[in-house]
Chains A and B, each alone.
Chain A
Amino acid sequence: MEDLSLHILDVIENSINADAAKIRLTITEDTGKNLFSIEITDNGRGMDEEAIKMASDPFFTTKAKRTGLGIPFLADAAREAGGNISIKSGKGQGTTITANFQHDHIDRKPLGDIEKTIAVLIAAGPHIDFIFEFKRNEKNYLIDTAEIKEKLGDVPVNDPEVINFIKDGIRQWLKDTQDMIRYDLNKSRHSGL
């Protein structure tokens, strides 16, 4: 997969298949710490200890007759960029997957069209409460679909107009904060981090 937003979609599809009703995605870019981090937390079925140990194995899956590749691919992408992945889970207690990347690593994949991933998730799972949080250094942007649904009343959250509104908001915020990341990244490189 060419960008991280596709890995995110893949792993969140796992959460949906695990019957999660609430899913939180946090993407953190901290150029001071040279960190790019993706954290996905859900309240789905969770995994037992054996499943957690096996989760990075591409030939392991809890799905009948299928191969689970979402976590192994994300783990590979993290390791290729000088990072790591951690999984916290328990049967019936949901799952948290955290993938850390070295922000300025030459092999770190770009985030890609994250707004398209989010649009697909909301369109396909209007019943799920999603929280999407973006952090770029001290800047922060949060979308809570439970709040949006409350405000919309009878209008479904997967209405095309609502989804386009959410997509445009994310795209604009990422554009507005892009220069700050470039500037800080240059500064950290010059300072030898």
Chain B
Amino acid sequence: MSTLRALAQAQAVAAGVAQPVATVRHLHLSDRPLVLVPLALAGEANAPLAALVGAAPDEARLLVVPQPRNRDQRFAFAAELAGIVLPYLDEFRDRTEAVPVDRGRDVRHRYVDAPQVLVPNPAGITFLRLFGRSTRFRRPDGEHPVHPSVPLLGRWLTFFAERAEHPGSAALVALTEALTLHWATGQSAVEDLHLPALLGWLDPPPGLTGAEAAARAEDPARCPPAGPATDPDFDNHRLAPAIEAYTRAEDDPAARAAAYAELERLLRDQLTPTWELMWRGVGLLRALPPGARVAGRWDGDKDAFTAHAEHVDAGGGPQPRRDGAVAAAARLHRLERALASYAVQRAYDDPLVMAEHRLTGEAFVGDVTLADPKRVDDTGRRPVLRPRIQVVTTEPVLVPVGATLHSPARPGQKAKVVFVTPAADGKTEVVLELSGGMGRGLTAAPGSVPEVGERLCLTTLSDGFLPAGAFPAPEETPWTHGGPPAGAPAPDASAEEWS
């Protein structure tokens, strides 16, 4: 928790409405995101009860499982969901773009856009991850055959759930997290997980404060929970009788149709408010201009989508239940790199995020008072262009002499701290020696050296390239990590015992 964000929360309490903690949007938003609001049956292991799904506000499709404990109905639901999700994915597989690789010596192709799935909250992501796990090992043949689209859906849901762990990815987004990344409310993080209350703070109805709107949204009778868990009162007094009526009407087609219609009506009533909140939240996010590095991160999602599509097309197997030692280490390394780079990129894109780093002494802003753009260092074997500038700042400077700083305005340039001198009025003078990003010759390209009078942000955060770590091949897993994995038998999921 940064002090800046905490202060924004305190301001939200006083103002009665959420306060911005970002000036730009830090995630990509698709023109046609697939919004998915799942509901699960209480007490069961991730048993789907219903879902409202679609890629536009007027395209909501309701899926219902009339007897959620029934195994066949569960996989019928999966097949139905696959019938929506898989065609949606195919929409993005028409056109590819060429991407230069290997310093332009070669090209590879990737899809020009990628799918995006939005769920209400982190529990929705967990639901999809577990639903992916429960379907991806199923088989269209054998003892308990399922529709061939079911395991495919499971693999894609698993793909999305894994992307959701990747910092900066926007392939699968929990709306509560996307919103709290940009606004601070006057309630706690636990309460922010409740989408209706969160939107109450963000966009309170006329005449209500955020706190009042949030308190209203907490009443399940007035505002159903955003899932996947349902309201126990709804379960006990409305859902249970409706499911019983459906079960009782087994032999009477007319009564059964009526009972099914009643179930649909009940579940639609529970889901529709959340559906509307989802699109309202999307609208709030769309009103923010995207950050400069958002498109670059979305390229990463396009790469991942392309790679997984090719893996599936080539007949590759489903994701394993658990990573082996090498795969787990490589994944962790990837996530750590992504996390570090995501934090830096957000700060570079957004002065309000950079302000958090200024507060902790990782960055400062000052005015350029002196500049020697022609300075050449000829002490080495050959002369090199090393301009110097002096920056005067009112902020505390905690960086030591010799440290390398960067400026979001010129990300390719390094600035080495040469002198730090306290000056009058509590100001600090910092002399910096610049290298990189100024062209090839001994004369700096125009605009590449800050001029006197320019206001400059300097930070220890670097968005530079981080070399990837080297990992052994799985068959060379060291004994300390369990040694090479034994040829794992393909898990026979269809043998799992059901009630």
Partners in one complex: no
Binding site for A on B (CB under 8 A): none
Binding site for B on A (CB under 8 A): none
